[in-house]
Amino acid sequence: MRASFLFLSTDEAGLLRVALPAAAAEEPDELVVVDNASSDDTGRVAGESGARVMRLEERASYSQAMNAGIGACTGDAVALLQADTFVAPGYLRAGLAALAAPGVGSVAPRLVRALGPEPHQRTERLDTAGMVVDRRRKNGLVGHDTPAAGWSEPAEVFGADGAAALYRRETLEDCAIAGEVFDPDLERWASDADLAWRARVLGWTCVYEPAALVHHIRTYSPSTRETMSLAARRMQFRNRYLMIAKNDPLPSLVRDLPRIALYELLALGHVVFRERHLLRGYVEAARMLPRMVRKRRTLQRRRRAARLPYGLEPRA
């Protein structure tokens, strides 16, 4: 299976100086860097590491930039990586072995937290062992900030976190709507959960592979949410509703309605009394709902044509 490594950099040349040599040492069939209109040395650093550089002259959203990069990759497997991810020796071999199993569309590596790019800045705390979307339809990180050594067994998970995910190209193509793998309407927040959910609707599974190790500098976690801009918080808030509208299997939505309704009531109270700016998130979600419904119809037609059941559901 031919493998492509895809990195996205937005003024992150300093991180690429460490990330790219580690990736190149894994000997992927191609190494691609999307230079997202950077004003630093991203292009030069990428070229020095033997990467093919795709330069975007205008700054794009995460989803748009990743879609451009995926389109430039030719491998049967595509590792979606970021400038702040540093693969460990054996990552590619372990990931491809896990991806080779029938029905597996993606692999979530063992992401371990790093405080910076240098080896001495790496910790023993888990960043994540994959993503979960629980029965409230809230997405989160599996095992975040627990001892990394405790996550040594492979397992099926909801999906792979967008910081580092290894996808089968066939899965990416299957999930694309109007040629777009990542949904540009979501822009950034939860776009990885949305992709993972679409893959599940279409019958693909994701496995966590602990032998595929990646060190990651996590700039956002629930504990650092207060540092986000108000616009980013609203985007994160509204995108949850958009991916539910697009992907949620109707039987599981009905089953979990009491749990969801209670969560929504509590969320509304939080918005009204603590973060009133999020009220605009409801408005934005309502405005974008027709587009999500159209995408849902496309996804469901594809599911029915493949004679698949409703898809793998969110978990407790």
Give alpha helix (H) positions in the chain. 13-24, 42-48, 62-72, 91-99, 169-175, 191-201, 230-247, 250-255, 257-273, 279-305
Same domain, 58 and 174: yes
Structural domain harbouring 157: 3-221
Same domain, 192 and 233: no
Residue type, 158: F
Same domain, 252 and 180: no
Same domain, 145 and 188: yes
Task: Count each helix (H run) and each strand (E run) in the chain, helices first.
Answer: 10, 12
Residue type, 44: R
Domains in the chain, number: 2
Q: Looking at the domain assignment, is residue 313 inside a domain?
A: no
Return the pLDDT at 311: 54
Contacts of 272 (CB under 8 A, 6+ apart): 279
Same domain, 20 and 74: yes
Return the pLDDT at 163: 92
Same domain, 100 and 202: yes
Q: What is the pLDDT along the chain (316 residues), one digit of tens a residue?
A: 899 999 999 999 999 999 999 999 999 999 999 999 999 999 899 988 899 999 999 999 999 999 999 999 999 999 999 999 999 999 999 999 999 999 999 999 999 999 999 999 999 999 999 999 888 998 889 999 899 999 999 999 999 999 999 999 999 999 999 999 999 999 888 899 999 999 999 999 999 999 999 999 987 666 566 677 888 889 889 999 999 999 998 888 888 999 999 999 999 998 999 889 999 999 999 999 999 999 999 999 998 888 877 655 555 4
Q: Which of 221, 247, 270 is the last residue of a domain?
A: 221
